[in-house]
Structure formats: structure tokens, C-alpha cells
Amino acid sequence: MAEIVVIGAGIGGSAAALLLARDGHSVTVLERDGGPLARSVDEAWSSWNRRAVSQFRLAHILLPRGGSILSDELPDVAARLELAGGLHLDPIDGFLRQSGTPRRHREPDDDRFTMLTGRRSTIEWVLAVTLEIGPSISVRRGVAVDSLIAGSRAAPGTPHVAGVRLDSGEEIAADLVVDATGRNSPTVRWLSALGAIAPHEVVEDSGFAYYCRFFASADGTVPELRAPILTPFGSMSVLTIPSDNGTWAIMLYASSTDKLLRRFRQPEVFESVVRQCPLHAHWLDGEPISEMASMVGVSDRKRTFLVDDQPVVTGMLSIGDAAACSNPSLGRGMSFALMHTVLLRDMVRKHLDDPVELAREFGRQTELEIGPWYDETRRIDRSRIEEMRAIADGREVEDTPQRRMAAAFDAAANSDLTVFRARSEIMCCLTRADEVLSRDGLLEHAIEVAGTAVDPPPGPDRARLGELVS
Ligand SMILES: Cc1cc2nc3c(=O)[nH]c(=O)nc-3n(C[C@H](O)[C@H](O)[C@H](O)COP(=O)(O)OP(=O)(O)OC[C@H]3O[C@@H](n4cnc5c(N)ncnc54)[C@H](O)[C@@H]3O)c2cc1C
């Protein structure tokens, strides 16, 4: 069994450490953020030092894809999340209630859409608590990895990582290093210092700006979903994200170039905009438990560690946001990190003794299993940001067959259970859009329903938004 160092105790690093330790490896987790572990869910939210993760106190939802990985692979973590006040959210029940559809239309496998979710601070805290009690795991918080240590090469011309050097100068040897350093990951710089060929990296600003505030109820309940969790309104979108222990987040997002909508960061503007959305306004009926927070400059970035099918490095594997991070509006990042973690564990099971094969197979499988999800997320985001920008600039939104089909699909999903289920598969990160949309007769059915569909959720158009923010 191996000595494994995991860099980063975020979502991916914590889950990877647990899975690898449960396979019998000895795991050391190194986390830059220091200070004691929060003692409770409330403390995790209010005062746990997670300065290195800038989105830590912004809206997060754990989609069913990520949730099912927790319950299948780390059931004790899922149980702890439930005990900590995690929220079960059942979108099908919500749809039946809103549309007045009788419950007999619920199907047994509709349970796959039910999510166990919570604030990011709560999800990460239950992972951190599990790490603390996990056998074969040592967690060191407040230590930052500064560089990688080179070992004897496993393949000519390819550097091999044999451990890490902390910023204190301390060196820690490892048979395998897992890089789970997140969005701000220094991996490329570290590899360059090691003399590695640069991984192929594509980075672009996603173009979105986020404005978010958290609320809590006095009685521990969360507001009823009367519209989809993610509702587009022309040049802005509204996310209403129910969370643990009677808390929830409202997030508005728009193009970061839309100067007018930057005023969303003012609490009174934010509130007046949400009040103008009749199916969302009741989400304001709680006690604010955070200040207004905003975030811009969120990048889409994908790294490929195989160049011409050869690994650029052996002895280190990158997972989660350190490998690929996408704009968060579809709420997929934690699920991707968990999917990647399971893949890592499986590849380590198969190829631990052969560092070259391990790096190569992990790279190939990442491209096959995670790559298409990342590409789809990016495609959906590109389409939405173009639409937002066109509306903000007063231009016609380009009328393409794909856009028309997507609009029909979304409209039909508001009133038709078959289309709602199909759309939920995509939104819950269970099945990719291309697979769902290629199903026999589904689009034709959606287009037919869309012709008679109920109106989309009501909200302010661009002109009204202009009045509200001024
Ligand atoms: C605004 C916003 C909203 C989001 N909303 C959602 C959502 O609703 N649903 C969802 O699933 N995802 C969401 N995400 C994405 C999600 O936050 C990430 O995908 C997820 O955290 C990735 O996990 P990770 O382990 O790869 O990285 P992180 O969780 O970011 O962890 C990286 C860790 O590495 C540590 N680290 C970095 N460098 C070093 C070093 N040199 N030495 C030691 N430690 C180091 C950091 O301190 C950090 O703890 C959102 C992201 C943003 C930006």
C-alpha cells in the first residue's frame, strides 16, 4: 500500500483522501488554510477560515450526481450531512405540486432526482469531520505546499514527482501526490519548475458576474419552489438555492460587461429586482445571514496532462478544479470533483505499481468521462452569455435551430412531466444533454407541447430592469 499526499482539503481533496485511505493507503492531507476545524455547522458558516476558497460562502447546490457518489461511495459522509441538517429536495414532487398533477404520476425511479444538499460550508465541514476520525489519514491545516520534489524518472524525458516541499522548507516524500488545489491551482508553475512539458491548458473568462445573498427562516423551513431553481430572465438569471437548516441563497447573475446590472450588488437594488419576479419574491422572506457578495472573473479552464498521449508528469494526478473548472451557474463543480475522485481511486486500484500507465490511463479516462461534461457545460454557458450580452446591448439574439429547440424544451418542461423529467436528467447532471435530446420523439413532443405551454415564469424585462436598477 502507498504513502499518498493530497494537496488541498476542499471537496475533491477530502473525498479523495477518504476513498484512498479506505483502500488501505496511508494518506497525508495538506491544506493551506489554517486555524482549528469548525466545531459545528453554524461555526463552519460563520467563522471557519476558508480564505483560500473564495466561493466558500457563495451559493452551492449538491446535485444528485454528486450526492449519489457520496451515498454510494462515502455513505457515512452522506449520513453525517443528513444529521447536520442537510436538505432533501425532490424536484418531481415540486413539479407535481405546482402543476396540480396527481401523485400517481410519480414513477419509482423519480427518486434519482432527489438531492441531499446543503451550504458549501456544511458539505465541506462534514467531509472535514470524517477526515479527522478516518483511520490512516493525517490532516495538516495551515501548511502550504510550495513546490514538488523530483524523483527518479519512470519514463525517459518525463519528470516524476516523489513528494512535496512546504513553504516552511519541510519535505514530505510520497509514492503518489494528488493535486486537489482548486481553481487557483499553481500546478502549471510547479510542473514548469520541475522541467515538465506544459500541460495543454485552455482558459477563458466565463463572462458572468454573480451577486448572492443568504437568508434563514425562523422555523427551519425553506421557501417553496414555485419556479425552476435556475430561471433565465433575458439579460439576467435568478438562482434560488434551498440549503441546510432552514437556510437558502438567492443569486442573480448577468454578463460581467453589463455595467447597468452591476448595481445588483446594492442590497436594495437586489431586493427590488427579486420582488419583481412573482414566483421568486417569497425567497426574500427570511432573515439575511450574509452581506451581499459578488464575484466576477470566474474562469473556465481545462488542463490536459497528456500531450500526444504521453503524460507530462508521473507521480502526480490532478483532480477537480485543478484539472478543469467551469463557470458555476449549472452547479456542477462539486459533482465533477467527486466524479473525478472516484475515477482517481479506480485508476490507483488498477495501476498504482506502474506510474506511467497510471498517469496515462487517468488522463485518457478523464478525457472520456469528465471531458464531455465539461465541454457541455461550457457550451451551455457560451450560449447563455451570448444571449445575455445581445439583450443587454439591444441586439437581436441570434436565432439558431439549437436555440429554438432549447427554448421549446425549456418552455415545455414548465408544464409537461415527460419533458420536465428529461430536463431534470440534464440539470441534475445525470445524463448529458446530447444523449437526452437525441431520444426518439422527445424533441418533437417538446415542440408540440411548447406550442400550448403555459407562460414562462414572470419577471422583469430589460426595460423594467433598467428602471429598477436606476
Ligand atoms: C461562485 C461559485 C459558485 C459555485 N457553486 C457551485 C454549486 O452550486 N454546486 C457545485 O457543485 N459547485 C459549485 N461551484 C464549484 C465548486 O466550488 C468547485 O468546483 C469545488 O470546490 C471544486 O473542489 P476542489 O476540491 O477541486 O477545489 P476546492 O474545493 O477549491 O479546494 C482546493 C483546496 O486546495 C487548497 N490549496 C490550494 N493551494 C494549496 C497549496 N499550495 N497548499 C495546500 N493547499 C492548497 C485550498 O486552500 C483549498 O482548500 C461554485 C464555484 C463558484 C466559484
Residue finishing a domain among 387, 409, 432: 387
What local confidence, expressed as pLDDT, does residue 422 receive? 96
C-alpha 144 – ligand 1 centre gap (Å): 16
Atom of ligand 1 at shortest range from CA of 144: 42
Residue finishing a domain among 339, 362, 387: 387
Instruction: Sort 470 into a burial class: Cβ within 10 Å, 0-12 / 13-18 / 19+.
Output: exposed
Nearest residue (CA) to ligand 1, atom 11: 334
196 Rama sector, left if φ>0, alpha if ψ -120 to 50, beta otherwise: beta
Residue 469 predicted with pLDDT over 80: yes
Same structural domain for residues 324 and 287? no
Nearest residue (CA) to ligand 1, atom 41: 145
- pLDDT band of residue 251 (cuts 50, 70, 90) is very high
What local confidence, expressed as pLDDT, does residue 224 receive? 93
Q: What is the mean pLDDT of residues 357-376?
A: 97
Same structural domain for residues 121 and 168? yes
pTM: 0.97
Nearest residue (CA) to ligand 1, atom 9: 331
Cβ of 123 less than 6 Å from ligand 1: no
Same structural domain for residues 310 and 166? yes
Is there a domain that residue 165 lies in? yes
- Cell numbers placing 269: 437594488
CA distance 377 to 369: 14
Report which secondary-structure segment, H or E, holds 42: helix 41-46
Is there a domain that residue 106 lies in? no
Residue 85's nearest CA partner among 187, 229, 222 is 222
Q: What is the mean pLDDT of residues 178-193?
A: 97
Is there a domain that residue 183 lies in? yes
Cβ of 145 less than 6 Å from ligand 1: yes
CA distance 470 to 463: 11
Q: What is the mean pLDDT of residues 181-194?
A: 96
Same structural domain for residues 177 and 310? yes
Is there a domain that residue 329 lies in? yes
What local confidence, expressed as pLDDT, does residue 309 receive? 94
Burial state string for 205-230 with b = 16 or more CB within 10 A and e = fewer than 16: ebbbbbbbbbbbeeeeebbebbbbbb
CA distance 117 to 114: 10
Cβ of 94 less than 6 Å from ligand 1: no
CA distance 405 to 311: 40
Same structural domain for residues 123 and 31? yes
Residue finishing a domain among 295, 323, 346: 295
pLDDT digits (tens, 9 = 90+) for 451-465: 876 677 899 999 999
What's the total number of domains in the chain? Answer: 3
Cβ of 298 less than 6 Å from ligand 1: yes
CATH number, domain at 174?
Answer: 3.50.50.60
Q: For residue 138, how far is the Cα from the chain centroid?
A: 26
C-alpha 241 – ligand 1 centre gap (Å): 18
C-alpha 3 – ligand 1 centre gap (Å): 24
- Cell numbers placing 165: 516541499
- Cell numbers placing 301: 479552464
**β-strands 26-31, 137-141 pairing:** parallel
What local confidence, expressed as pLDDT, does residue 453 receive? 65
What residue numbers bound the domain in which 222 lies?
208-295
C-alpha 368 – ligand 1 centre gap (Å): 22
Q: What is the mean pLDDT of residues 159-179?
A: 98
At residue 250's C-alpha, the angle toward residues 96 and 225, to 5°, is: 10
Burial state string for 441-458 with b = 16 or more CB within 10 A and e = fewer than 16: ebbebbbebbeebeebbe
CA distance 63 to 358: 29
Cβ of 10 less than 6 Å from ligand 1: yes
Cβ of 128 less than 6 Å from ligand 1: no
Same structural domain for residues 250 and 330? no
464 Rama sector, left if φ>0, alpha if ψ -120 to 50, beta otherwise: alpha
Same structural domain for residues 263 and 145? no
Cβ of 67 less than 6 Å from ligand 1: no
C-alpha 214 – ligand 1 centre gap (Å): 19
Average per-residue pLDDT in the chain? 95
Same structural domain for residues 283 and 339? no
Cβ of 12 less than 6 Å from ligand 1: yes
Same structural domain for residues 53 and 144? yes
CA distance 253 to 381: 12
Is there a domain that residue 464 lies in? no
Report which secondary-structure segment, H or E, holds 95: helix 91-99
Same structural domain for residues 339 and 219? no
CA distance 46 to 81: 18
Cβ of 206 less than 6 Å from ligand 1: no
C-alpha 337 – ligand 1 centre gap (Å): 9
Cβ of 163 less than 6 Å from ligand 1: no
Is there a domain that residue 102 lies in? no
pLDDT digits (tens, 9 = 90+) for 271-305: 999 999 999 999 999 999 999 999 998 989 999 99
Residue 58's nearest CA partner among 239, 245, 283 is 239
Cβ of 320 less than 6 Å from ligand 1: yes
C-alpha 396 – ligand 1 centre gap (Å): 36
C-alpha 270 – ligand 1 centre gap (Å): 26
Q: What is the mean pLDDT of residues 404-422?
A: 90
Residue from 14, 33, 53, 230 to probe ligand 1 pocket by mutation (most atoms less than 8 Å from CB): 53
Residue 87's nearest CA partner among 69, 66, 114 is 114
Q: At what angle do helices 355-365 and 333-351 cross, to 10 degrees?
A: 150
**DSSP SS3 for 178:** strand
Lowest mean pLDDT among 5-9, 39-43, 105-109: 105-109
Same structural domain for residues 82 and 149? yes
pLDDT digits (tens, 9 = 90+) for 13-37: 999 999 999 999 999 999 999 989 9
Nearest residue (CA) to ligand 1, atom 37: 181
- pLDDT band of residue 400 (cuts 50, 70, 90) is confident
What local confidence, expressed as pLDDT, does residue 465 receive? 93
What local confidence, expressed as pLDDT, does residue 200 receive? 95
CB 15 within 8 Å of CB 338: yes
429 Rama sector, left if φ>0, alpha if ψ -120 to 50, beta otherwise: left
Nearest residue (CA) to ligand 1, atom 19: 333
pLDDT digits (tens, 9 = 90+) for 74-119: 999 999 999 999 999 999 998 898 888 888 889 989 999 999 999 9
Same structural domain for residues 68 and 175? yes
Is there a domain that residue 78 lies in? yes
Cβ of 332 less than 6 Å from ligand 1: yes
CB 384 within 8 Å of CB 232: yes
Is there a domain that residue 262 lies in? yes
CATH number, domain at 250?
Answer: 3.30.9.10
